């Protein structure tokens, strides 16, 4: 009995390691890209430095027109510095946003894979119902201490399937309709019984649970996936 628990624990730990490793890889890759981008972006003051160097190296630029040109170039350099600084901020925000999206996508992907595996395991093993009590008066069914309120029609359909399960019988849609309506099986339509089963599943709510509880046997009909000893009707 200890081996399955150990296997499940190891599987959980392996999944956690994969998620942690994936998140770390995403963060490291984007961090490296950010460092590369910021190191290769031009200096915000590069333009001003070149203009200053230009006027330092050319002593002849001393007229009023030259001074005015220097002021215009200095203002342009200041605008360039502000634009470049805003670009840095935009790049940083985009990198943070992309990191969050990639991490969330990885987590969701791993979660979906884990849920698919759990659903597959449930589908292979079926639902373990230890007790199932059908109360016509309360119009409810109690499955493993969980209460499901049903309509009158859904209770009738469930009761017919429960009685058939006690006799190890599989009922077709026409047979279900015949028992409920009181007409002969020849006068009943298969689709009418299938509709009753569908409404019963809808009333139970959870699609996975209802389809596994009320099983469809290919080319034979419908039956409850419940042990006879677990079934009770009041």
Q: What is the pLDDT of residues 39-61, one digit of tens each?
A: 777 666 666 667 667 666 666 65
- Nearest CA among 215, 224, 116 for reference residue 165: 224
Running DSSP on this structure, what letter comes out for residue 186? G
CA distances to 15, 114, 154, 167 from 119, in Å: 17, 9, 26, 30
Q: Which residue has the higher pLDDT, 212 or 34?
A: 34
CA distance 209 to 143: 11
CA distance 122 to 208: 9
**Could you report the per-residue pLDDT of 74-90, keeping only the tens digit for each?**
667 667 677 777 777 78
Average pLDDT, rounded, for the chain: 75
φ, ψ of residue 102 to 5 degrees: the values are -65, -40
99 contacts: CB under 8 Å, gap ≥ 6 = 26, 27, 30
Residue 4 banded pLDDT, cuts 50, 70, 90 = very low
| Assigned token pair, 86 | 């805003």
100 contacts: CB under 8 Å, gap ≥ 6 = none
**Could you report the per-residue pLDDT of 181-232, keeping only the tens digit for each?**
888 888 888 888 888 888 888 887 765 566 667 888 888 888 887 777 777 7
CA distances to 19, 29, 101 from 23, in Å: 6, 10, 11
Read out DSSP for 99-113? HHHHHHHHHHHHHHH
Burial zone of 212 (CB within 10 Å; 0-12 exposed, 13-18 middle, 19+ buried):
middle
pLDDT of residue 221: 86
Break the chain into its structural domains and give their ranges.
2-125, 132-233
pLDDT of residue 3: 43
**Could you report the per-residue pLDDT of 56-75, keeping only the tens digit for each?**
666 665 666 666 766 676 66
Cβ-count burial 29-42 (b if 16+ within 10 Å, e if not): ebeeebeeeeeeee
Alpha-carbon dihedral sign for residues 39, 45, 48, 51: negative
Residue 8 has pLDDT above 50, yes or no: no
Instruction: Say which CATH architecture domain 132-233 belongs to.
Output: Orthogonal Bundle (1.10)
CA distance 230 to 226: 7
Residue 2 banded pLDDT, cuts 50, 70, 90 = very low
């Amino acid at each position: 009995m200890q081996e399955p628990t150990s296997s499940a624990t190891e599987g959980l730990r392996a999944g956690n390691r994969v998620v942690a490793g994936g998140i770390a890889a995403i963060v490291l890759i984007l961090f490296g890209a950010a460092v590369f981008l910021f190191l290769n972006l031009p200096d915000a003051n590069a333009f001003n430095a070149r203009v200053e160097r230009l006027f330092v190296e050319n002593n002849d630029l001393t007229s009023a027109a030259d001074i005015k040109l220097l002021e215009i170039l200095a203002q342009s350099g200041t605008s360039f510095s502000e634009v470049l600084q805003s670009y840095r901020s935009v790049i940083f925000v985009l990198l943070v946003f992309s990191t969050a999206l990639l991490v969330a996508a990885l987590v969701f992907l791993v979660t979906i894979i884990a849920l698919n595996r759990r659903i597959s395991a449930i589908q292979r093993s079926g639902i373990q119902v230890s007790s199932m009590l059908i109360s016509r008066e309360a119009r409810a069914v109690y499955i493993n201490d969980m209460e499901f309120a049903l309509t009158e029609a859904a209770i009738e359909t469930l009761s017919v399937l429960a009685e058939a399960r006690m006799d190890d019988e599989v009922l077709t849609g026409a047979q279900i309709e015949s028992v409920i309506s009181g007409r002969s099986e020849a006068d009943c339509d298969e689709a009418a019984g299938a509709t009753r089963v569908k409404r019963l599943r809808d009333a139970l709510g959870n699609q996975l649970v209802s389809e596994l509880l009320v099983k469809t046997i290919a080319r034979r009909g419908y039956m409850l996936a419940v042990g006879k000893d677990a079934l009770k009707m009041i």
